Structure 1
């Protein structure tokens, strides 16, 4: 029967949005974007380089005084209008998300509402950002602080969830009074382009949001630009080092939301059905291409064998296939190279003595032309195995035993990452105790999987620096000025 072809009719024309103008001419060439489910061409993506980034920074700097000084209530109204327009284009945005990175319908349909909610929530902060009165001594003085925007913010977003990252980063940056340049990956540029177009339709002033898709050359030009006042990067640790190096000569401050190797602690007193479903969440959302995924499942020894068997049985009910099919739970990986990387992890795990219970191979039949790998469960591993230490960024979940609560915490924290951790237990006393001991930025309990707009999100250790979400996300994009008036 074959897969549904990519819905290219819904895609915006690929190009750049700079200072309110849509351009398609690239100074460095194009990239052929392939629909991950079929490997077929959608469009040639113009790539942004130094020339495009120079123009975007100039446009953002030109727009900065007007946006910064715009009354806060007017900023709020414009952002709320943008959120409403996003909701009006629900079906279009959902289809774009599905086509750019192969997200299944059942997941992509959550994105437009999520993005709109992020803009609505952060719009509420636009007229509440202020400062503090400071107590002074030993001489009389009047001391206060002013919260002000950095200025021009460069934002680099990943290919696994560019539309969500658009909302997570641009909404608080705008609410704080900054103007923005967003660089989506050439692997998934369409949602950011269309959101940039909708921002203009909603009345967001020209130059406040500039969209420049591209790869490493564009990223380097943005990060090293002296006209950029703050950077925020979401992606992998290797690229983050390049971002920091490029930003260093200008001493540009950088926020980082990086990878994870999150542990899920399954205690014997947990709800078995919920815990089994939770274990599969390391595979299913975004086909495991999610930094927050709980890919290390630590199971109490007394239930380990039966629990792993239950998860293995549940895999048979997970539909992997056509993103357009509303029953599909897992779509393809983003491209050929990522698929080969994931398969390499499974192959080496098996060669090193681990037991690959399911998956670990490219899927055939109607899926053979796409980049499909089914849920891959790996048992008989310990914390020294590569598949446990490194971020696979694919549908691969490993299982390990623990005997005591203390051992579970030690295993969970024995990682260079610290983005998230999960606890499955019906003992709330234990939950609070373990949550405090885990070294991670987000602790999610009992099959929890969500990042509400009001909640801070970010990592410890090699998982990053800074937070997005809530007031913490606003603070990521403001700096504080102190004013001291002597009254002596």
Structure 2
């Protein structure tokens, strides 16, 4: 399956969006974006430096008083108008996400509707945010709370699904009444810039959202800026430590949505073909580049061989190839660096014999040789203490292990420093509730796959971070209560 190049006419104006000005140059210089499916350059990306980050924070702070004072119904209507524009621009936004990171169009065509739903859901809370009356004793007094925005929020989004991330985090921050400096990664800046332009078209006042693509230097300048009142970061644990160190200079509060190594438990009474298909999705969905993907597959010994065979057989049928072909299920990984890193993990697993390779394990050649395509890969009989079982690979690799009983399943599931998600397959309702309660994870999915529910909170425990996106909890992440006590 040959690879076609996306039309470069999709690209938004090159530069940074600060206020309502597009900055075509920056003290941070430029980097070259590469289309992951072909390995060919597409455009030079303007990268923010400390100067531009500082200007963006200034514009956000200048816009804050008027944005907070704007009647809630007017701010709500702006967000609803943005959601409508996103849906009207669904096809260009879909293709732009494919161009950015090589996601198959079959997947990216679903994302504009999901993002629009998040904006609509958060808009629905905007005119309902208030506070509560607090009971007082022993004195006579009126005590009440007000839910107030933090002020200027720095949002750092990941490259593996920027459009949905924008709906989740940007929608909640705006609903809470904050202004935003948004830093998309240099690997995937285009969707965020396009959304910034749509916000101006929808009528958002300049400066309410500023878009400054950049790398680590821009991130450090943003997180450490004294004009930032809160930080929301999505990414890896190592970068999170740097974010926390920079934010500590001003004691700026931080919310973190980090990685995972989610267990996928399959009990013998499960619908095995469904369970195996969803377990395989840990490698195939987003080419394995999803923080909540179920990449540690734990299978009861009585059905272990059957599940391994089903996973290997299904992987052999996965259509890997041109992301712009609607038949493609799985595309490339995001970059040459990521490709080399993932293949190195696979090679080390072979060398150390920490698992038995049952499918994949190689880079694809032929028509796909120029891109960063890795075959969907499964290792069985994986050593629970190995790199395969313990480290977030963030690529198309699943590790399959067996267990003998429920206690052993839970011990293996809990044997990780991560706690983002967990998957459970059983038709025993009591077991489903019992195991779900026992698992240390922000979300447990039972007998199904994750859906984009704007009303559901999502976030991690342990080294998968803290804080929530989605639901009322996601809005409250960007609010802080003020208590007011009046003597009567």
Q: Which range, TM-score by smaller chain?
A: over 0.9
Equivalence for 1:57: 57
> Per-residue displacement from partner, 1:121-157 (whole Å, max 9, x unpaired)?
0000000000011011111111000000000000001
Inter-partner Cα distance in structure 2 for 1:208 and 1:280: 42
Inter-partner Cα distance in structure 2 for 1:13 and 1:342: 33
Asked if the contact 2:56/2:210 (under 8 Å) is kept, the reply is yes
Superposed, which structure 2 residues align to 1:107-146 within 5 Å? 107-146=107-146
Equivalence for 2:449: 448
Equivalence for 1:304: 304
Q: CA deviation at 1:410?
A: 1.2
Q: CA deviation at 1:451?
A: 3.1
Inter-partner Cα distance in structure 2 for 1:429 and 1:361: 41
- Residue 421 in structure 1 maps to residue 419 in structure 2: no
Asked if the contact 1:451/1:457 (under 8 Å) is kept, the reply is no
Q: CA deviation at 1:110?
A: 0.9
Asked if the contact 2:131/2:144 (under 8 Å) is kept, the reply is yes
Inter-partner Cα distance in structure 2 for 1:28 and 1:198: 25
Asked if the contact 2:381/2:402 (under 8 Å) is kept, the reply is no
Inter-partner Cα distance in structure 1 for 2:450 and 2:127: 31
Equivalence for 2:44: 44
Greater shift in the superposed pair: 349-358 or 328-337: 349-358
Equivalence for 2:438: 437
3-state SS of 1:113 partner: helix
Alpha carbons of 1:285 and 1:14: their partners in 2 closer, same or farther (altered >3 Å)?
farther
Superposed, which structure 2 residues align to 1:319-338 within 5 Å? 319-338=319-338
Which structure 2 residue ranges, 5 or more long, are not aligned?
none
Inter-partner Cα distance in structure 1 for 2:380 and 2:350: 10
3-state SS of 2:154 partner: strand
> Per-residue displacement from partner, 1:182-227 (whole Å, max 9, x unpaired)?
1000001100000000010011111111100000110000000000
Inter-partner Cα distance in structure 2 for 1:450 and 1:241: 29
Taking structure 1 as the reference length, the TM-score comes to: 0.99
Q: CA deviation at 1:2?
A: 2.8
Equivalence for 1:262: 262
Inter-partner Cα distance in structure 2 for 1:389 and 1:261: 7
Count of residues paired in the alignment: 487
Equivalence for 2:248: 248
Asked if the contact 1:439/1:460 (under 8 Å) is kept, the reply is yes
Q: CA deviation at 1:6?
A: 2.6
Asked if the contact 2:13/2:22 (under 8 Å) is kept, the reply is no
Equivalence for 1:379: 380
Asked if the contact 1:105/1:324 (under 8 Å) is kept, the reply is yes
Superposed, which structure 2 residues align to 1:85-164 within 5 Å? 85-164=85-164
Inter-partner Cα distance in structure 2 for 1:482 and 1:12: 44
3-state SS of 1:415 partner: coil
Equivalence for 2:405: 404
Asked if the contact 1:6/1:42 (under 8 Å) is kept, the reply is no
Superposed, which structure 2 residues align to 1:17-28 within 5 Å? 17-28=17-28
> Per-residue displacement from partner, 1:77-119 (whole Å, max 9, x unpaired)?
1100010011000101001001000000111011100110010
Inter-partner Cα distance in structure 2 for 1:236 and 1:200: 31
> Per-residue displacement from partner, 1:319-377 (whole Å, max 9, x unpaired)?
00000010100000000000011111111111111211111111000000000001110
- Residue 339 in structure 1 maps to residue 339 in structure 2: yes
Q: CA deviation at 1:13?
A: 2.6
Equivalence for 2:4: 4
Inter-partner Cα distance in structure 2 for 1:215 and 1:297: 34
Q: CA deviation at 1:5?
A: 1.2
Equivalence for 1:74: 74
Equivalence for 1:359: 360
Asked if the contact 2:316/2:359 (under 8 Å) is kept, the reply is no
Asked if the contact 2:114/2:452 (under 8 Å) is kept, the reply is no
Q: CA deviation at 1:14?
A: 2.5
Inter-partner Cα distance in structure 2 for 1:4 and 1:448: 30
Q: CA deviation at 1:382?
A: 2.3
Aligned CA RMSD, in angstroms, stands at 0.8
Taking structure 2 as the reference length, the TM-score comes to: 0.99
Inter-partner Cα distance in structure 1 for 2:452 and 2:432: 19
Inter-partner Cα distance in structure 2 for 1:227 and 1:162: 25
Which structure 1 residue ranges, 5 or more long, are not aligned?
none
Asked if the contact 1:277/1:447 (under 8 Å) is kept, the reply is no
3-state SS of 1:250 partner: coil
3-state SS of 2:303 partner: helix
